[in-house]
Each structure stands twice: as structure tokens, then as C-alpha cells.
Amino acid sequence: MNKKRVLSGMRPTGKLHLGHLVGALSNWVKLQEDYECFFMSADWHALMSEYAKPSVIKESILDNVIDWISCGILPDKSTIFIQSEVKEHLDLFIILSCLAPLGWLERCPTYKEQLKELEEKNLTTYGFLGYPVLQAADILIYKGEFVPVGEDQLPHLELTREISRRFNSLYKKEVLVDPHPILTKFPRLLGLDGRKMSKSYGNCIYLSDVPAAVEKKVMSMITDPKRIKLSDPGHPEICNVHNYYAVFKPELKPDVDKQCRAAEIGCTECKKRLASILIEALSPIQSMRKKLLSDKKQILDIIDKGKDKARLVTQKTLKEVKEAMGLE
Ligand code: TRP
Ligand code: SF4
């Protein structure tokens, strides 16, 4: 039986952290079993927000791919590639740019949010407005039926569907396929301070953090603010530390819950235990990472093969697109 196709991407804008592992990678790893997967380092998308300081992109591409593989993405099973090495993404991008109405892009909620949130990056550029059009091209060029993404990306998927329908109806041919999102089922993992885990907030635990760093960061986490003395009963439902247990050691969650409410465990002890759980979870990832870092040639081979595999698909779709338009 032919497997259905999945396409997803991540922007290479820095080191990967636990939020990437829980929010995206663990989902990608599982999907490999049942789908034909394409995983892309979206370096053009990274440039759209990091154009003022693009050096971070080059540094991050291989480092991110190494983390993907260390977390369980299998290069023999899935296609791993770099967006800018597969030229057809840009061909389709320019084609779709011609037919994507400005209003759709200006109204996109993520666009408006990001402009405000990343004000210091000055994203009022021509390129950034087209961010979702490039993402649509990424997806549609693979005829990817499923796209694992976080909830924040749903407007981009909706736009992708609108653009693909517009294409098919303009040229009266069902060339492009509507994609469907696959949302992660994991509870959301927040940063050390309880906000979204993000490099710009400085609240991340990185996949490459050494044990001492993990321990130090965990010990700095904010817990139940109402719990001042050890004898005060805690409220695990509002405690970020407790949420980490739920994600990384769900089988211990009921115990922690009970001990916290009964004031049988102090926050320091609770965090110490969490730190060792995280250190243990990161240990196999980090030893794999170490191995891969010592053999960069192997990684370069993987992305080179990935590019070839990806292009077999993208060249074919681009040809169909141009034929439908009467351009070829
Ligand atoms: N915009 C996505 C993000 O920031 C990254 C991305 C680029 C992507 N192209 C994609 C995700 C195609 C899914 C499919 O997370
Ligand atoms: Fe949070 Fe643990 Fe403290 Fe309870 S004991 S408030 S779960 S850190």
C-alpha cells in the first residue's frame, strides 16, 4: 500500500530546545512509521525574520538536523533536506505569489501578531508578508496531505488550502492537493518562567544543555507562588514543574500530585527529581549528538541524498503546475 505523505519544516534560527522536542520532533518521530515523511530545514523562512543577522541560519542548519536525528528521525526512512537546496520551492513560490491576493496575506493573524511581537526585527518587509505563500509552496510542491504543526500554524494551513483551491480553479485542473494539519497531542511545554519556551525570552532548556545546566535551570523554575513554607499544601495544577512531570514522566504525575497537595514533598526536592528525569531523558539524545558531531560528512551525505529524493517529487509537481498553466 502506498503511504500517505507528510511534510513539515522547522526554521533554523538557533539551537533546539525541549519545546521543539515535545511540540514537534516527538510527533515527527512517530509519524515516520505510517507516512512517507519529508522533513525540511526552512532556511528561506528563517531569513525572512533573521535577515538582519543571518549568520545564525548557517550555524543552525546542521546543528538542528543533528538534533533531529539524535531524537529519532531516521534518515533511511524519512527524507531530510534543506529548503534552499530544492530550487522548485522558489519556482512554485513565485507562481503562487502571482495569484495570492494581498488581502489574504495582510489579514493573516500570525502576520499581524508577529509584526507586533517581533517589532525590533522590523518585519514590515515585502518578503515577510509572503511568508505563508512560501509555506504554501513548501507543502503543495510535495502534494503533502498531512502537515504536523503547532496550533500557531493553523492560519498558514488554511491559507495554503485557499491558495491551492484558487490555483486549481483558475487553471481548471486538480493539480494541487489540500493539506490537513496534524496537531500534537502532548500538553504544551512552557519555558522556565511559565511563558512560551523561546530563545528570545531566555527561558529554554536546550537539547544540548549539559546536566549541570539542566539542573541549574530546573532549580530556577517558578512553582506554586502560594506555597511559601514546606508545610503549605501545594496546587500542582498551576505549577509548571508539575506540568513537566506530566510530559516527561506521566507515570509519576499522580504521586507528585498527591505529595504536593499533602505538603509531603518540598518544591526543592520536587525540582531535583525533575532535573534528574530530564537529564536521563536527554542522555541518549546527547550521546547520539556527540557521535554525529564527530562525523559531519555523514550528515552532509544525508542532506545531499535528501535533496535528490525531494527533487524527484518537486520537479514532477512543478512540471504539472506549469502544464496546467500552459507554461510548458
Ligand atoms: N512556519 C513554520 C514554523 O515557523 C515552519 C515551516 C516552513 C513549515 N515551511 C513549512 C511547517 C511547511 C510546515 C510545513 O514553524
Ligand atoms: Fe510544584 Fe512540585 Fe512544588 Fe508542588 S511540590 S508546587 S508540583 S514544584
Bridge partner list, 6: 37, 146
Query: pTM, whole model, 2 decimals?
Result: 0.95
pLDDT at residue 280, rounded to an integer: 98
- Closest atom, ligand 1, to C-alpha of 24: 15
Indicate whether 307 pLDDT > 90: yes
User: Mean pLDDT over all residues of the chain?
Assistant: 95
Tens digits of per-residue pLDDT, 262-272?
A: 999 999 999 99
pLDDT at residue 324, rounded to an integer: 98
Decide the pairing of beta strands 35-41 and 180-183: unpaired
**Residue 311: partners with Cβ closer than 8 Å, 6 or more residues away:** 86, 88
322 pocket-lining for ligand 2 (C-beta < 6 Å): no
Summarize the confidence of residues 84-103 as an average pLDDT. 98
Note whether 24 and 7 are within 8 A (CB): no
H-type helices in 35-189, by residue range?
43-50, 55-70, 88-99, 102-107, 109-117, 126-129, 131-140, 154-170
Indicate whether 232 pLDDT > 80: yes
Q: Which ligand is nearest to the CA of 270?
A: 2
Q: Tell me the residue length of the chain.
A: 328
CA distances for 214 relative to 1, 2, 275, angstroms: 44, 43, 6
Q: Which long-range contacts (CB under 8 A, 24 or more apart) does 226-231 make?
A: 227/267, 230/263, 230/266, 231/263
83 pocket-lining for ligand 2 (C-beta < 6 Å): no
CA-closest candidate to residue 282, choices 202, 177, 207, 185: 207
Q: For the purposes of burial, counting CB atoms within 10 Å of the CB of 293, is it exposed (0-12), middle (13-18) or buried (19 or more)?
A: middle
Q: Which ligand is nearest to the CA of 267?
A: 2
- Closest atom, ligand 2, to C-alpha of 236: 7
Ligand 1 pocket (Cβ < 6 Å) reads 7-11, 42, 45, 135, 138-139, 147, 149, 153
Indicate whether 1 pLDDT > 70: no
φ, ψ of residue 268 in degrees (nearest 5): -60, -45
pLDDT at residue 188, rounded to an integer: 80
Indicate whether 120 pLDDT > 90: no
Indicate whether 305 pLDDT > 90: yes
CA-closest candidate to residue 14, choices 322, 49, 316: 49
**Element (DSSP H or E) covering residue 10:** strand 4-10
Q: What percent of the chain has pLDDT over 90?
A: 90
Bridge partner list, 182: 148
Q: Which ligand is nearest to the CA of 233?
A: 2
**Element (DSSP H or E) covering residue 38:** strand 35-41
Indicate whether 86 pLDDT > 70: yes
Summarize the confidence of residues 155-167 as an average pLDDT. 97
Indicate whether 132 pLDDT > 70: yes
Cα 162 from Cα 166, distance rounded (Å): 6
